[in-house]
Amino acid sequence: MLNITSKLDLFLHTWQINNLFTAKYDINNCMLYVIAGAGGTEACDWAKQILQMYYNWLKDNNYKYSLIDIQEGDVTGIKSACVLIEGDYSYGYLKNERGNHRLQRVSPYGGKDKRHTSFCGVEVEPIIVNSQLTINPKDLIIDTFRSGGKGGQNVNKVETAIRITHIPTGIAVKCQETRSQHENKQRALKLLTSRLQLIKDNDEFTELQSTKEGVLDTGFGSRIRTYSIHPYTLVKDDRTECQTSDVYGFLEGKYLTEFILENLKIKTQNSK
């Protein structure tokens, strides 16, 4: 699905698919979760920047995406967001973005000249389309609520948003993508079924059962990348040697593919 503008691009894209995307779900669509971590208002602002970074990358690479759920920050930014991404190998690329993204900068919200550290957690899970799993309706709690996003005729006026909780596991899935309660309910059921199938079949995803809406710890652990704006500008991947001083360009979606592919190459080499 990445932009292919020449024969060389086509060759490189084919090579990547044949050599780097060999896991079971790499070709699948995926869900991207972004959640503000430690840092209060700063973290909410940072989470919004990370979400926009992915939006920019998705647009540049012709992926289709839709915002399933969002919780706005109290002052600015977002507390959390859930995005459905559709397109070949979207999971294969973005699964490498799991973990904590750390920002170091001078706070624009107070503490003049004092460096502030914020965290944003990212989780990615594949979508299983043809799940044979059957969910007992008696195991579900279905709640309706008003959409929390900004704008739109029905937002904060009509209870079109849906939350479905699976009682045996405690997993909850929310959807406020459309203005139709029925459509949101059907989408939420599909997402819940996909997640339960993942947990049933794969040890890798059992941790999702005990985490808040699929998002891992957003404190100091599992850090994958540091973005420094003060006292110097640098984006450094903690898993590879990739780095760039163009922080603002990175947050516009540039370089992200390069960072992802380098991490994929290292993982592939280590698995041989």
Distances (CA, A) of 17 to 58, 108, 110, 195: 18, 42, 46, 25
Question: How far, in Å, CA of 84 to CA of 191, rounded?
Answer: 10
Domains of the chain, CATH where assigned: 7-128+213-271 (3.30.70.1660), 137-206 (3.30.160.20)
Question: How far, in Å, CA of 14 to CA of 201, rounded?
Answer: 29
Question: How far, in Å, CA of 113 to CA of 231, rounded?
Answer: 10
Give residue 119's pLDDT band: very low, low, confident or very high (50, 70, 90).
very high
Of 59 and 213, the one with more pLDDT: 59
Query: Mean pLDDT lowest for which of 4-18, 94-108, 165-179?
Result: 4-18
Query: Mean pLDDT lowest for which of 23-27, 93-97, 212-216, 246-250?
Result: 212-216
Token pair listed for 204: 């890798």
Token pair listed for 87: 């397109």
Kindly tell me if the per-residue pLDDT of 207 is higher than 60.
Answer: no
**Cβ-contact 216, 95 below 8 angstroms:** no
**Cβ-contact 65, 55 below 8 angstroms:** yes
**Cβ-contact 96, 237 below 8 angstroms:** no
pTM assigned to the model: 0.84
pLDDT digits (tens, 9 = 90+) for 29-44: 999 999 999 778 999 9
Q: What is the mean pLDDT of residues 47-71?
A: 96
pLDDT digits (tens, 9 = 90+) for 169-182: 898 999 988 888 89
Q: Cβ–Cβ contacts within 10 Å for residue 220, how many? A: 12
**Cβ-contact 38, 119 below 8 angstroms:** yes
